[in-house]
Structure 1
Amino acid sequence: MLSSTNAITPGGYDRFRKYLQKVCGISLSDNKQYLVASRLGKLMEREGIDKIELLVDRLERGATASRLREEVINAMTTNETLWFRDTHPFTILKDRILPEFTKAPLRIWSAASSTGQEPYSISMVIEEFKASKPGALKAGEKIVATDICTNILKHAKQAEYDSLAIARGLGADMQRKYFDKINDSTWRVKPALTSRVEFRHLNLIESFSSLGKFDIIFCRNVLIYFTAETKQDILKRMHASLNPGGYLFLGGSEALSGLSSLFDIVQCHPGIVYRAK
């Protein structure tokens, strides 16, 4: 069993780091041996693998490589999220951006949807906007939500959350308005919200042109896990996926670098959003 960082040799860790970056873009720093040990220990024990080098061998050449790859990516993916995370992006969406799309079909992409809080928060914003602007968005709206983690996507599609998850960023009034109570500890997002959300499995380092064009992209708190080169490649391809004048939201600690020719910065006080040139 991979029970401690002592079980990870420098060479083995380096091999695993390179493999992980190759298959999903996640870039581990030099000192994440403990993270690897804690997240992969149970998987390796179940598979009868006691060294990280042997796991990489199986991932690259074994008969079960495809299944193991999915499980390793699921284990190594960080899925920290909450409702209306950081607040201001959703305020910007409702007050400044949605009014621009009242007459055309609206397509939004949540590019790292995790357990679903972001796309469902976006759907709530749309519902609130339509209530405040009767007749708005008559042409319809669609939210495409993607993530690399298959386990997380299954949870997101169910749209069911316990009381602890609900409390992370969501007020009681919104809970009553947009959720149906299943039992004393579980709530389900109402069909009016889930009906406009479509979940898909997607690896951002691979082509996403098949998703089509979007008016708005939320790609928040995921690019921090990639190298600078991979980040730039993803952002360039996201620009190509935006309609002219479309908007890109990034996380609070993320920013465009060297791509001013593709995006204009829109200051919103608080927060910023990027408009595709």
Structure 2
Amino acid sequence: MSIIGLSQTFLDSAHFTKFRDFLHDACGIYLAESKQYLVTTRISPLLSHHNFKDLGELVQELERNKYSPLRDIVIDAMTTNETFWFRDTYPFEMLKSHIFPELAGQKSSINIWSAACSSGQEPLSISMAVEEYQRLSPKKLVNVNITGTDLSPSMLKIAKAATYDQMSVMRGLSVERLNAFFDQLGEDSWRAKAQVSRRINYRTLNLQDSYGGLGSFDIIFCRNVLIYFNNELKLDILKRIHRNLNPGGVLFLGASEGLAGASEFFEMVHCNPGILYRAK
């Protein structure tokens, strides 16, 4: 069946509502009615591949077998994995100019969490910032541990391999950083050097689940993901992130994201440009 044919029977309102409820329960993402086109675009090829006649059949299968690999495939298809290197610039500059020098004099070990890290560009950017700081500063960092988490197994597979094509490395990565921190494997393939990737540990994590096993952190990046959740879930995530931050620890959110009612847990700090949040 063609995608055009699928789309004609695809958007039964009851089926869409059930699918929206599944996605919200599975990963916290809320789809507005206006996002029906997104479901059609991303799920129609999947229906054809797995021989489901419509969205309703897919939802029935997901409800019948909650631990099927199909669940991860569907979440993968609906998750926006838009990412690039050194996004917004200022968080990484703040690390090098203020946060690392402050922590270097206080701690023998620094723990950083990159939540919803997608295919690894953010944790690798953090690690490159560590390398750049170490080269220029007399106050060295003794030990930096970076934890990258995401709910998508396919994205984490890419992150762990730390290998990217030309289109990927062009998105925010300067030629200087590419030459300094990556090895070219072929005409269209670059892999992060061991000195950059070895301090990163990747784990599968749904932000709706417990963070208890992650440990405590001095710095947390949770950027450009809260915008996909409703206010209640945003607040819950921020409260739990606060419990994983050491006193005075730093939280970076996305440029269009705010505290969603969690201001009693964090102090806003203007960086000129940008904003960071310190745990109270």
TM-score range, shorter chain: over 0.9
Contact residue 234 and residue 260 of structure 2 kept, 8 A: no
Give the structure 2 partner of residue 163 of structure 1.
Answer: 166
Match of 2:188 in 1: 185
What stretches of structure 2 of length at least 5 have no aligned partner? none
Q: TM-score w.r.t. structure 1 length?
A: 0.96
CA distance in 1, matches of 2:126, 2:150: 16
State the secondary structure of the residue aligned to 1:28: coil
Residue type of the alignment partner of 1:133: S
| Structure-1 residue corresponding to 2:40 | 37
Q: Which runs of structure 2 are paired with 1:198-209 in the superposition (5 Å)?
A: 198-209=201-212
Instruction: Tell me by how many angstroms 1:66 deviates.
Output: 2.1
What percent of counterpart residues are identical?
49
Say which SS state the counterpart of residue 186 (structure 2) adopts.
Answer: coil
State the 1:5 CA deviation.
Answer: 5.9
For normalisation by structure 2, the TM-score amounts to: 0.95
- Runs of 4+ with >2 A deviation: none
Of the candidates 90, 93, 115, which is equivalent to residue 91 of structure 1?
93
CA distance in 1 between partners of 2:113 and 2:96 (Å): 16
In the TM superposition, what whole-angstrom CA distance separates every residue of 1:64-106 from its partner, at most 9, and x where no partner exists? 7521111111111100011001111111111111111114110
CA deviations on 1:28-82 (whole Å, 9 max, x unpaired) are 11111111111112221122111211111100114x7521111111111100011
Matches within 5 A, 1:64-143: 65-102=67-104, 103-104=106-107, 105-134=109-138, 136-138=140-142, 140-143=143-146
The number of residues matched between the two structures is 275
Select between 246-255 and 33-42 the one with higher mean Cα deviation. Answer: 33-42
Q: Secondary structure, in 3 states, of the residue corresponding to 1:4? A: helix
CA RMSD after TM alignment: 1.3
Distance in 2 (CA, whole Å) between partners of 1:175 and 1:169 is 10
Q: Is the 8 A contact 2:223 2:254 kept in 1?
A: yes
Equivalent of residue 24 in structure 1, options 12, 17, 27? 27
Q: 199, 202, 220: which one pairs with 1:217? A: 220
Distance 2:22 2:276 in 1: 33
Greater mean deviation of Cα atoms: 5-14 or 164-173: 5-14
Deviates more, 1:96-105 or 1:176-185: 96-105
- Aligned residues of 2:76 and 2:152 also touching (Cα < 8 A): yes
Q: In structure 1, how many angstroms separate the alpha carbons of the residues matched to 2:139 and 2:278?
A: 26
For structure 1, which runs of at least 5 residues remain unmatched after alignment? Answer: none
